[in-house]
Chains A and B, each alone.
Chain A
Amino acid sequence: MSAILTLAVKDLRLLLRDRVGFFFTFFFPLLYSVFFGILFSGTSKGPSAIPVAIVNEDRTPASDEFVSSLRKTSSLALDLVDSRDAAVDLVRRGVRSAYVVIPPGFGDASQRLFWGAPMRLEIGTDPGQAMTAGMIEGLVTARAFERMQRLFTDAQAMRDNARRSLEAVRSSTGLSGLQRTLLETLLTSVEALPDMFAAQKSAADTQPDGTTQPAFGGWRPVEITTSQVTRPAAAGRPRYPSSSFAICFPQGIIWGVMACAATFAASLLVERTRGTLPRLTVAPFARWHILAGKAAACFFTTAGLIVALLFVARLGFGVRPASLPLLLVAILCVTVAIVGLMMVLSVLGKTEQAVSGISWALIVVLAMLGGGMLPLAFMPPWMQTLSDVSLVKWAILALEGAIWRGFSPAEMTLPCGVLLSVGVVGFAVGAGVFRWSEQR
Chain B
Amino acid sequence: MLRLVGLRKTFGTVVAVDGLSLEIRRGEVFGLLGPNGAGKTTTISLAIGQLRPDAGTVTLDGAGSPADPHVRRCIGVAPQALALYDELSGEENLRFFGRLYGLGGSTLRQRVARLLDFVGLTERRRDRVATYSGGMKRRLNFAVALVHEPVLILLDEPTAGVDPQSRNAIFEFVQTLKSEGRTVVYTTHYMEEAQRLCDRVAIMDHGRLLALDAVTGLLGRADRPTVVVVERAAGEERIETADPKAELVRALDQPDVLGVRVERPDLESVFLTLTGRRLRD
Contact = CB atoms under 8 A, between A and B. Distances in A.
5 contacts: A2-B99, A13-B88, A13-B92, A284-B101, A284-B102
A3 B100 contact: yes
Contacts, number: 71
A234 interface: no
A2 B83 contact: no
Given A6-B96, A13-B92, A17-B87, A278 B73 contact: no
A308 B82 CA distance: 37
Interface string B136-160: 0000000010000000000000000
Interface residues of B, number: 31
B75 interface: yes
Interface in B69-112: 69-70, 72-73, 75, 77, 79, 81-88, 92, 96-97, 99-102
B83 A283 contact: no
A283 B148 CA distance: 10
B48 interface: yes
Contacts of B84: 276
A75 to B, nearest CB: 53
Contacts of B120: none
B11 A284 contact: no
Contact of A6 (B69, B81, B87, B99): B99
B252 interface: no
A266 B217 CA distance: 50
Contacts of A283: 69, 72, 97, 100-101
Contacts of B11: 439-440
B48 A282 contact: yes
A214 interface: no
A268 to B, nearest CB: 14
Interface string A71-108: 00000000000000000000000000000000000000
Nearest to B144: A279
Interface of A: 2-3, 6-7, 10, 13-14, 17-18, 274-276, 278-286, 437, 439-440
Contact of A275 (B75, B81, B101): B81
Given A13-B88, A14-B88, A17-B87, A279 B79 contact: yes
A17 B88 contact: yes
A274 B81 CA distance: 8
A280 B87 contact: no
A14 B85 contact: yes
B176 interface: no
A278 B102 contact: no
Contacts of A279: 77, 79, 83, 97, 144
Contact of A282 (B72, B81, B85, B102): B72
A3 B104 CA distance: 12
A282 B101 contact: no
B83 A275 contact: yes
A348 to B, nearest CB: 21
A282 B50 contact: yes
Given A282-B50, A284-B73, A18 B144 contact: no
Contacts of B70: 284
A350 to B, nearest CB: 14
Given A278-B50, A283-B69, 12 more contacts: A6-B99, A13-B88, A14-B85, A274-B82, A274-B86, A275-B82, A278-B81, A281-B50, A282-B50, A284-B72, A437-B51, A439-B11
Contacts of A280: 100
Given A275-B79, A278-B45, A437 B85 contact: no
B49 interface: yes
Nearest to B81: A275
- The interface centre, meaning the residue of B66, B69, B73, B84 with most chain A CB atoms within 10 A of its CB, is B69
